[in-house]
Structure 1
Amino acid sequence: MTSSERTGPSASAGERDMLDGWLEFHRETLVAKCEGLSDEQLRTASAEPSMLSLLGLVRHMADVERHWFRRVLTGEEIEPIFYTEDDPDRDFRAGDGDTWQDTHTTWQAEVAAARAAVGGRSLDDLAVRENREGGKFNLRWIYVHMIEEYARHNGHADLLRERIDGATGV
């Protein structure tokens, strides 16, 4: 595995910088898990019957970024990128025509849109869309959820990468 440059989160930053730092660290970790692999390797499923692959995780995170920062936080009326109501796991299923270049470009566009969406907002700012109980998420909750989402899936990425080429760490 190649060694991607990652910026470790500060151990003494204020709350917003700490949350930004951890989110960026986990985004960079997912990139590091995918580095140096072919499209075919990135599409390799973990183990039957699971369809989980590294490319599928990146596709999923593109949809997750879009959902929480653009659809929930700002209320933007846009459709998911990969999954549908009829096929809610489609983001995880990378097909033969799906490439790292296209998937990475799409994901990075959503990361950039997420960064723009949080610019100038307070952690106490409430999202436009309501949760299931009729309340609203504040930006702090969204940050913590996104960090948790990336951390969980980076754990999956660890196992996927080890299965593909034996690489561990990062």
Structure 2
Amino acid sequence: MSDDRIDPPLAGDERDTLAGFLDWQRDTLAWKCAGLTDEQLRLRAVPPSGMSLLGLVRHLAHVERAWFRHVLADEDVPLLWGKETNRDADFDDVDEASAEEAFAAWRAEVEHAREVSADLPLDALGKRLRHGEAYSHRFILVHMIEEYARHNGHADLLREHIDGATGE
């Protein structure tokens, strides 16, 4: 596995540091999935969990959409992967899912999130309440770093089980 990730800035301001860490985590997910077949990406490799690398990609596309489009920008876009009727559809429904479609959706959501985030002050509040609360742009960025970091730990275990590849 070739590692082309760009390290976050060592002495950046708050915005650049948060964006740098989030992009590093995003790149880590892509790196953990690189070079695998659709079948390998679908493999639920850590029983009894039903988690797969493809499920993680689908889940993180959903999370990007939910936080940046729904909460931060109040965009009226549907949930991905049929999550309206199955809360865990992103993870559950991968047996026939297209890896190409999942990665395209994930990349599109990441790009859109970057656009929404680009010029927004860190203390700006999301335009849509979640659980009756307003969330700051800063909170959302930190939460997204945490979300990716947690799931990249899962991706580490899945990838190692699939082909033995390891790395930070």
Whether TM-score is above 0.5 comes out as yes
Please state if 1:140 is matched with 2:141: no
The aligned counterpart of 2:33 is: 34
TM-score, normalised relative to structure 2 = 0.95
CA distance in 1, matches of 2:91, 2:8: 28
Structure 2: gaps spanning 5 or more residues: none
CA distance in 1, matches of 2:82, 2:52: 15
Alpha-carbon offset, residue 46 of structure 1: 2.5
Answer 1 or 2: which has greater strand percent. Answer: 1
The aligned counterpart of 1:161 is: 159
CA distance in 2, matches of 1:83, 1:37: 25
Please state if 1:77 is matched with 2:72: no
CA distance in 1, matches of 2:20, 2:93: 29
Alpha-carbon offset, residue 85 of structure 1: 3.4
The aligned counterpart of 2:98 is: 99
Give the 4+ runs in structure 1 shifted more than 3 A: none
The aligned counterpart of 2:150 is: 152
> Do 2:54 and 2:94's aligned partners in 1 also have CA atoms closer than 8 Å?
no
Percent identity for Structure 1 against Structure 2: 50
Q: How does 1:106-145 map to 2 (within 5 A)?
A: 106-132=105-131, 134-145=132-143
Alpha-carbon offset, residue 94 of structure 1: 4.4
TM-score, normalised relative to structure 1 = 0.94
Alpha-carbon offset, residue 96 of structure 1: 3.2
* Count of aligned pairs: 168
The aligned counterpart of 1:7 is: 6
Alpha-carbon offset, residue 131 of structure 1: 3.0
The aligned counterpart of 2:88 is: 89
Secondary structure at the aligned position of 2:135 is classed as strand
Counterpart residue type for residue 82 of structure 1: W
Structure 1: gaps spanning 5 or more residues: none
RMSD: 1.2
> Do 1:43 and 1:94's aligned partners in 2 also have CA atoms closer than 8 Å?
no
Secondary structure at the aligned position of 1:124 is classed as coil
The aligned counterpart of 1:47 is: 46
Alpha-carbon offset, residue 160 of structure 1: 0.2
